[in-house]
Amino acid sequence: MSAAATILIPAHNQFAYCRDCVASIQRNTRAPYKLVVVDNGSTDGVADYFDSLDGVTVLHAPRNLGFAGGVNLGWPEAEGHLIVLNSDTLVPPGWLGRLVAALESAPRWGMLGPRTNNAAGPQCIEGLELDSEEAVAALSNALWEQHGAAVEPLHRVVGFCMVIRDGVWQQVGPFDERFGIGNYEDDDYGTRVRRAGFELGMASGCFVFHHGGKTFAGLGLTGTHYDDLMRENRQRYMDKWNVFLPEPGQAAKRDAAAHAAQAREALSAGRTAEALQHWKQAIAAQPQASENYLGMADTLEAAGQAALAEKFRAQAEGLGRS
């Protein structure tokens, strides 16, 4: 029996996130699916973990092929609708059926993405406090009750989770590997889907949790290194499509700096809850900047939440100073 959808996950290291991602899929997915995982040159146990999984198609690359290359390695194994999923995501109960229902609500939808807690653009719901699987599931269910299979048109779908219609991904073809390790390959693919005559959208009633940036951080691509990668791939995209894109990094930095300043002002005035909200906004605007996590940690400690503060300090240490 053919699968209604294939979930394709390229992964380079970050064992704990890969394990949690796959476990959430196995635990929370009832709609029929095929799972394809690509060990993209991992060295930290991901390869052996993938090989230990039952009923999963596993492929190994001898080196890190980048996001597009990893997806393309698993491409020939796909059938049905294709879901490209980051390895640092967690899926709640019902996610796949809801995402597919939105995709199939109209034939014009070529590629959709869900709502999330961590992404650039309108797919992100700001200010979320999701500290447990139960909280993620509750939010997911609330969104489905409110929006159902409704779809909001988008100009771009962020690559942490993309569902591409059966027939469309075969027509449009594999991802463009000129974008290397990653960034802008999702923008490029969306452009190709639109030029093939289909539309992009957001499944308003579907939610997928996204930690964000873990593979890049593991590769040391943080701060100015990450900005350089973004700039290079932005130029590749502009050269390919003969268009101009304003640099998003500067606007994001300004937003993050503004929220950081407001957070410090609120904390000095004793408005801890307000300060925490501003730090969340700063992290959302610039997730690769370690100083925002340190600011959140200091504010949490001032609020008496020492254990949670240590988690944010650990994240800052993993990212390094930007």
Same domain, 231 and 257: no
Of the candidates 300, 254, 250, the one whose C-alpha atom is nearest the C-alpha of residue 280 is: 300
- What's the whole-number mean pLDDT along residues 216-225? 51
Give Cα 207 to chain centroid, integer Å.
11
Query: Which of the listed residues 188, 217, 240 is the one where a domain comes to its end?
Result: 240
Same domain, 63 and 148: yes
Same domain, 175 and 231: yes
Instruction: Give the pLDDT score at 251.
Output: 64
Instruction: Give the pLDDT score at 225.
Output: 63
Asked if residue 321 has pLDDT above 50, the reply is no
Of the candidates 229, 228, 221, 210, the one whose C-alpha atom is nearest the C-alpha of residue 318 is: 221
Looking at residue 17, which CATH number applies to its domain? 3.90.550.10
Note the pLDDT tens digit of each residue in 59-88. 999 999 989 999 999 999 999 999 999 999
Asked if residue 217 has pLDDT above 60, the reply is no
Q: Enter the pTM of the model.
A: 0.77
Query: Which of the listed residues 240, 261, 296 is the one where a domain comes to its end?
Result: 240
Same domain, 158 and 236: yes
Same domain, 162 and 216: yes
Same domain, 116 and 265: no
The torsion defined by the Cα of 89, 25, 19 and 202, in degrees rounded to 10, comes to -10
Is residue 1 within 8 Å of residue 77, measured between CB atoms?
no
Instruction: Give the pLDDT score at 319.
Output: 63
pLDDT-derived band at 292 (thresholds 50, 70, 90) equals confident
Same domain, 236 and 125: yes
Q: Enumerate residues 6+ apart whose C-beta is below 8 A from 148.
A: 101, 205
Asked if residue 322 has pLDDT above 70, the reply is no
Asked if residue 248 has pLDDT above 70, the reply is no
Same domain, 260 and 200: no
The torsion defined by the Cα of 229, 235, 238 and 239, in degrees rounded to 10, comes to -130
SS3 58: strand
Per the structure, the count of domains in the chain is: 2
Domain with 62 in it = 5-240
Is residue 59 within 8 Å of residue 31, measured between CB atoms?
no
Note the pLDDT tens digit of each residue in 89-140. 999 999 999 999 999 999 999 999 999 998 888 999 987 888 899 999 999 9
- What's the whole-number mean pLDDT along residues 199-210? 97
Instruction: Give the pLDDT score at 100.
Output: 97
Q: What CA–CA distance (Å, rounded) separates 81 from 58?
A: 19
Give the least confident one: 13-17, 36-40, 265-269: 265-269
Same domain, 259 and 120: no
Give the least confident one: 1-15, 155-169, 192-206: 1-15
pLDDT-derived band at 1 (thresholds 50, 70, 90) equals very low
pLDDT-derived band at 24 (thresholds 50, 70, 90) equals very high
pLDDT-derived band at 317 (thresholds 50, 70, 90) equals confident
Average pLDDT, whole number, for the chain?
Answer: 89
Looking at residue 270, which CATH number applies to its domain? 1.25.40.10
Same domain, 257 and 112: no
Same domain, 288 and 208: no
Give the least confident one: 142-151, 229-238, 273-282: 229-238
Same domain, 212 and 79: yes
| DSSP line for 107-119 | TTEEEEEEEBSS-
Asked if residue 180 has pLDDT above 80, the reply is no
Query: Which of the listed residues 205, 240, 275 is the one where a domain comes to its end?
Result: 240
Q: What CA–CA distance (Å, rounded) separates 87 from 15?
A: 9
Asked if residue 215 has pLDDT above 60, the reply is no
Q: What CA–CA distance (Å, rounded) separates 143 from 171?
A: 32
Q: Enumerate residues 6+ apart whose C-beta is below 8 A from 182.
A: 66, 67, 68, 159, 215, 216, 229, 233
Of 142-156, 226-240, 281-295, the range with the highest mean pLDDT is 142-156
